[in-house]
Amino acid sequence: MSTPSTVILGTGSYAPDRILTNAELSKTVDTSDEWIRTRSGIRERRIAAAGEKTSDMGVQAARRALEDARLTAADIDLVIVATFTPDLPMPSTACIIQQKLGLPTTAACFDLCAACTGFVYALDTACAMIASGRYRHALVIGAEKLSSIVDWKDRTTCVLFGDGAGAVVIGPSPDAGRGLLGTRLGTLGDTVDLLCIPGGGSNAPATPASIAAGDHFLKMKGKEVFKLAVRAMDEAARDILEQHHLRADQISLVIPHQANLRIIEAISQYLELPMDRFFVNVDRYGNTSAASIPLALDEARRSGRIKAGDLNLLVAFGAGLTYGSALIRW
Ligand code: ACO
């Protein structure tokens, strides 16, 4: 558990201009607006422009977060990018973002992969590094170009995902009662096959045959993932509330990972917390994986849903299966 010694100083987000609606998708795969809306709550998603990279989206979100924090590139000495769609297998997208933002060469930069839980993992990591006293200001970015790893012929997955980025700037907290109060991270073993990209890694380097078979696309057993996601998110939320001797109704706003409206509704029922305490934008962006929580957090702040003194709960799950929650006092 982190000590309450780090605080979010600014937030930012970015979504590409191109909107892909359910109606458009139903012209290319055997699906319908009605099926997608009723099964997932998604109406549309954003798709990166040709040549627009994960790093480009991360840079846009980071610039807005820096501006919000009233800090400049020179103030940043740590960058963590949560992504599983990096620009390149190596070097990290964080290094590319460092160069594009003109950050100091003394900044530590690395990527972190925990799929859709990536932002919560990265936030916890950055807060621990700042709490150590060895770093002062961190950029924590969630950025994904999922359109690049989705099989656009597979209706069971392509309707669910979208592109985007979100970022926060964190620094030491002047007030021990404010900031990241704690986290609860975890991983369910033996679930790799439920959600993975089977090809392209060191286990199965790309070959013409693997590419023809589509092994480099995301594969998912949706029904199984759904059940485990609800269980893991409920557990992560309950555990962290219990650790901090809090009731669910003391949370002013939950920022859940935006994968599926039905998953969010199930968590709302389990926690006995009405849906108006959950921030939802999955209808407009689909699942943007590691970008989903920081994008939602930024929209919630900019639309006035978060005020000084509020208590927020972040809760996520993703491939691994990883899961995690975080409590933030503003
Ligand atoms: N359009 C129309 N029909 C479809 C579509 C589609 N896009 N996709 C699947 N179907 C069909 C199926 O083939 C199936 O047909 P059948 O009964 O003839 O076999 C039927 O619809 C029902 O399919 P199910 O998979 O049972 O549908 P379900 O109600 O479970 O919803 C969904 C599917 C939306 C994928 C759901 O299971 C889900 O959201 N799961 C969690 C996924 C998730 O959140 N993943 C992200 C993890 S985060 C990360 O780390 C990337």
Report if residue 284 sits inside a domain: yes
Question: Measured from the CA of 317, which atom of ligand 1 is nearest?
Answer: 48
Ligand 1 probe mutation, 156, 196, 230, 323, most atoms within 8 A of CB? 156
Separation of CA 222 and ligand 1 centre (Å): 5
CATH of the domain at 325: 3.40.47.10
Q: How far is CA 137 from the centre of its chain?
A: 20
Whole-model pTM: value is 0.96
> 5 or 290, which is more confident?
290
What residues contact residue 24 under an 8 Å CB cut-off, 6+ apart?
Answer: none
Boundary of a domain, candidates 124, 142, 174: 174
What the block records as the tokens of 158 is: 């392509």
Judgement on whether residues 11 and 54 belong to the same structural domain of the protein: yes
Report if residue 245 sits inside a domain: yes
Q: Poorest-confidence range of 2-11, 40-49, 295-304, 314-323?
A: 2-11
Ligand 1 probe mutation, 147, 221, 223, 230, most atoms within 8 A of CB? 223
Boundary of a domain, candidates 174, 206, 227: 174
Separation of CA 164 and ligand 1 centre (Å): 22
Q: Which residues line ligand 1 at a C-beta cut-off of 6 Å?
A: 31, 35-36, 39-40, 115-116, 155-156, 159, 195, 220, 222-223, 225-226, 229, 259-260, 287, 289, 318-319
What the block records as the tokens of 4 is: 């309450």
- What confidence tier does 1 reach under pLDDT thresholds 50, 70, 90? very low
pLDDT of residue 296: 98
Long-range contacts, 98-102 (Cβ 8 Å, 24+): 100/55, 100/56, 100/59, 101/59, 101/62, 101/63, 101/73, 101/76, 102/73
Q: What is the pLDDT of residues 56-108, one digit of tens each?
A: 999 999 999 999 999 999 999 999 999 999 999 999 999 999 999 999 999 99
- What confidence tier does 2 reach under pLDDT thresholds 50, 70, 90? very low
Judgement on whether residues 313 and 294 belong to the same structural domain of the protein: yes
Q: DSSP character for 49?
A: P
In the set 22, 127, 158, 257, the catalytic residue is: 257
Report if residue 70 sits inside a domain: yes
Judgement on whether residues 102 and 204 belong to the same structural domain of the protein: no
Q: Which residue has the least CA distance to atom 20 on ligand 1?
A: 156
Report if residue 139 sits inside a domain: yes
pLDDT of residue 5: 85
Report if residue 1 sits inside a domain: no
pLDDT of residue 195: 97
Judgement on whether residues 89 and 151 belong to the same structural domain of the protein: yes
Q: What is the pLDDT of residues 105-120, one digit of tens each?
A: 999 999 999 999 999 9
Residue 276 phi/psi, 5-degree rounding, is -70, -5
Judgement on whether residues 118 and 207 belong to the same structural domain of the protein: no
Q: What is the pLDDT of residues 169-182, one digit of tens each?
A: 999 988 888 999 99
pLDDT of residue 7: 96
**Domain around 246:** 180-329
Judgement on whether residues 161 and 258 belong to the same structural domain of the protein: no
Distance CA 120, CA 325 (A): 7
Boundary of a domain, candidates 121, 139, 174: 174
Mean of pLDDT values over 114-127: 98
pLDDT of residue 174: 82
Mean of pLDDT values over 143-168: 98
Judgement on whether residues 146 and 39 belong to the same structural domain of the protein: yes
Judgement on whether residues 47 and 91 belong to the same structural domain of the protein: yes
Question: For this structure, is 257 an active site residue?
Answer: yes
Separation of CA 224 and ligand 1 centre (Å): 10
Q: What is the pLDDT of residues 227-255, one digit of tens each?
A: 999 999 999 999 999 999 999 999 999 99
Question: For this structure, is 196 an active site residue?
Answer: no
Q: Report the run of H or E that residue 47 belongs to, with start and end.
A: strand 44-47
Report if residue 74 sits inside a domain: yes
Count of domains in the chain? 2
- What confidence tier does 3 reach under pLDDT thresholds 50, 70, 90? low
Distance CA 208, CA 206 (A): 7
What the block records as the tokens of 127 is: 């807060």
Tokens 């709490």 belong to residue: 131
> 140 or 174, which is more confident?
140
pLDDT of residue 176: 81
